[in-house]
Amino acid sequence: MSQTLENLASAIERGKVDKVSPYPPDLKGELGADELTKQALDEGIAPNLILNESLMVGMGKIGDKFEIGKAFIPDMLISAKAMNAAMEHLKPYFDSGDMELKGDFIIGTVAGDLHDIGKNIVRMVLTGSGWNVIDLGSDVKADKFLDTLKDYPEAMVGMSALLTTTMMQMEETTKAIKEVSPNTKVFVGGAPLSEDFSNKIGADGYFPDPNKFSKFLGSLV
């Protein structure tokens, strides 16, 4: 791996967004994910290589730390912010078809629920793992998921909920999706959920950890 890619992976893991970012304090004044991604492209490093050997490596490392309790949601959020800065440089290559994606993934927080932190973390982890993530935002009704599936018929779907009062929206949406497209895989996540709940509503899986979820989806392609 080139030094630029190593530095970029570290910037993603540590959450160093750009040179002017004060966080983390020990990297103050050093190049962040923004500048390092541009530098890698300027050096002629292929966008797929930047994604697979740098961005995915950095997100994988912070994900592994989160999995074993050595990193927490704020750490994931700042890493996701750094990832977002890097992806702005790679987005044109995704849009042009020059970069190979693993597939499409539709994600949203269900109707009646405005919480989106967990959903946003999953979005960035999956984006950094090479998925085309279609983020529908929060308070998403079943019809919106169905309409989006018309545009991305091969996509998988992920739903998030933080409130116990909105969990049942997942059952309604899952049922609606399965009626129209029985083969579409639907996954659910959120603090009040469980595997038993996922099974009860007919979803294809429940994952409380975004890193494990990303690895699982990778095993499907």
Question: Are the beta carbons of 150 and 71 closer than 8 angstroms?
Answer: no
Q: Could you tell me the pTM of the whole model?
A: 0.79
CATH architecture label of 1-100: Orthogonal Bundle (1.10)
pLDDT in tens, 72-95: 888 988 998 898 899 889 888 877
Best CA proximity match to 120, nearest among 186, 154, 65, 73: 73
Residues found in the chain: 221
Rounded to the nearest 10 degrees, the angle between the axes of helix 73-96 and helix 3-14 is: 130
The one-letter code for the residue type at 58 is: G
Residue 140 backbone phi and psi in degrees, to 5: -95, 120
CATH architecture label of 101-221: 3-Layer(aba) Sandwich (3.40)
Residue in the block written with tokens 């409380």: 208
* pLDDT tens for each residue of the chain, 221 residues long: 699 999 999 999 999 999 999 999 999 999 999 999 999 999 999 988 898 889 888 988 988 888 888 988 889 889 988 988 998 898 888 777 667 788 999 999 999 998 888 888 888 888 878 898 999 999 999 999 999 999 999 999 999 998 888 998 999 999 999 999 999 999 999 888 999 999 999 999 998 888 889 889 988 88
pLDDT in tens, 55-66: 888 988 988 888
What pLDDT is stored for residue 77 in this prediction?
85
What pLDDT is stored for residue 89 in this prediction?
93
Cα 94 versus chain centre, distance: 15
What pLDDT is stored for residue 1 in this prediction?
65
What pLDDT is stored for residue 48 in this prediction?
84
What pLDDT is stored for residue 108 in this prediction?
96
Round to whole Å and give the CA distance between 33 and 38.
Answer: 9
**Domain segments of the chain: what residues?**
1-100, 101-221
Q: What is the 3-state secondary structure (H, E, C) of the chain?
A: CCHHHHHHHHHHHHCCCCCCCCCCHHHCCCCCHHHHHHHHHHCCCCHHHHHHHHHHHHHHHHHHHHHCCCCCHHHHHHHHHHHHHHHHHHHHHHHHCCCCCCCEEEEEEECCCCCCHHHHHHHHHHHHCCCEEEECCCCECHHHHHHHHHHCCCCEEEEECCCHHHHHHHHHHHHHHHHHCCCCCEEEECCCCCHHHHHHHCCCEECCCHHHHHHHHHHCC
Does residue 24 have a cis bond before it (omega within 30 degrees)? yes
